[in-house]
Structure 1
Amino acid sequence: MWLVSPVVNALMAVLLLAGVPFLGYLVWQKWRHRRPLADIAGRAGLQGSSVHYLLISAAIALVVTCVLLLWSPPVAPFLREGSPQRVFAGLGLGVQAIVMALLYGVVQTGFVEELVFRGLIAGSLARRMPLAWANLLQALIFLLPHLLILQTMPQMWILLPLVFLLALAMGWVRIKSGSILGPWLVHATLNVTMCLMVAARTAA
């Protein structure tokens, strides 16, 4: 069944890529600082956010989505070997594509990357240095794995400045709000849009 693989991939990403770092953080905070679980979760950004910052995040997500749709980047690079969006080729905007896009964009990449980069890394940096420096450093760290774009689809290098600027915006929201909810909303919206764009533009 087509649903099995996306669900397994999402769960594996949560358990390994997000779960292992968070477990390490949890053990360290418990052992070193004797913090309660609720405090540890809050320090990792796993808490609610004010409506103010959620609205800012929603506005950022809307602007980024509009820019992406108006720009309408070429689909060919996303169909190459190694591109995660390749599995959406030819699906169209049906139930399968939408469910797969949500699993990939909201869970597998959105939640996992936001917990690690904004929740753990940005949060830890913000407690040790001024906001501007913490935000800049977390954005640079977030950019590093995205440099793989240069290997899988080098003609899409223009996405890298966008990734960096979005990382700055999402880092600022996370640090100011104390939550990853806003950044998660932006990240998930962008990734889901990209997946559905590939699915729609390659439909038979």
Structure 2
Amino acid sequence: MGIEIIEMILQILIFALIPFLAYVIKKKTLKGFLDYIGLKKSNSKANILAIFASLILLAPMVLLIFTSESFREIMFDPNSITGKLRAMDFGTNSIIILLIIAIFKTSFAEEILFRGFIAKRLISSLGFIKGNIMQAIIFGILHMILFAVITTNFIYLSLIFIFPTVAAYVFGYLNEKKGNGSIIPSWIAHGLANVITYLVVGFVI
């Protein structure tokens, strides 16, 4: 567990480094950085919408996991996060590790970089619709590339691109249109989706 905590901290720091350097170089100050990446208070309406959005967006993915043996094999791959969780014995230790990975190492780190930096900069430059679509596509492509190491199945890679892309667009919408520019709503939605996915694939099926 100690290794996971160290890796979590390092990943958050690495993902925050790019926006941090961009901000410091541009502004010549540290003041206002947290607001710059949207790490600020949201509102209860946006947070509740994030929970519902997460469950709705997650439904097709979970359905595919339960109905497609081939897709399950991809998710079971030892090189994937879910595959590594499956190799653990179910218990308190594995659940804590799952929560660390799902809530902080992946979702929090990714939200800082993608919605807190990339999305905000693209939206500022291109407008909300174009900027949000662009960050969503980038997010989807990166997920597809990661899974391309595990599978070459075009259909599954397409779905692995589509699911995160749609989710990323919704995350951007929740933050910028409902959450006062905070990344808290997308962190809630992303973290919840990860927790459920990792739990189902890692220990349920």
Q: Which position in structure 1 is the counterpart of 2:191? A: 188
Is the alpha carbon distance of 1:141 and 1:67 closer, same or farther for their aligned partners in structure 2, counting shifts above 3 Å?
Answer: closer
Q: Secondary structure at the match of 1:179?
A: coil
Does the Cα contact within 8 Å between 2:78 and 2:84 map onto a contact in 1? no
SS of the counterpart of 1:111? Answer: helix
In the alignment, is the contact (CA less than 8 A) between 1:126 and 1:175 conserved in 2? no
- The equivalent of 1:119 in structure 2 is 116
- Structure 1: distance between partners of 2:61 and 2:84: 20
* 1:84 aligned onto 2:81: yes
Q: Which residue matches 1:40?
A: 33
Q: Does the 8 Å CA contact 1:139/1:168 hold for their aligned counterparts? A: yes
Q: Give the number of equivalent residue pairs.
A: 195
The TM-score normalised by the length of structure 1 is: 0.85
Contact 1:57 1:183 in 2 (8 A): yes
1:140 paired residue number? 137
Which whole-Å CA distance do the structure 2 matches of 1:123 and 1:22 have between them? 11
Matches within 5 A, 1:9-24: 9-16=7-14, 18-24=15-21
Identity of aligned residues (%): 21
CA deviations on 1:153-177 (whole Å, 9 max, x unpaired) are 3443222211111011011112222
Measure, in 1, the Cα distance between the counterparts of 2:57 and 2:94: 21
CA deviation after TM superposition for structure 1 residue 185, in Å: 1.0
Task: State whether structure 2 residue 153 is matched by structure 1 residue 160.
Answer: no
Instruction: Structure 2: state its 5+ residue gaps.
Output: none
Contact 1:143–1:163 (Cα < 8 Å) also in 2: yes
Per-residue CA distance 1:149-200 (angstroms, 9 max, x = gap): 1231344322221111101101111222201111111111122222212221
Q: When the two structures are superposed, what TM-score results if normalisation uses the length of structure 2?
A: 0.85
Q: Distance in 2 between matches of 1:102 and 1:41?
A: 24
The answer on 1:174 being equivalent to 2:184 is no
SS at match of 2:75: helix
Q: 1:30 corresponds to which letter in structure 2?
A: K
Q: Which runs of 5+ in 1 are unaligned?
A: none
1:121-164 CA distances to partner (integer Å, 9 max, x unpaired)? 11112222221111111111212211221231344322221111
Give the alignment partner of residue 57 of structure 2, picking from 58, 61, 64: 64
Q: Which amino acid aligns with 2:41?
A: G
Aligned equivalent of 1:200: 203
Which secondary structure does the structure 1 equivalent of 2:88 belong to?
A: coil
Cα-Cα RMSD: 2.1
Secondary structure, aligned partner of 1:152: coil
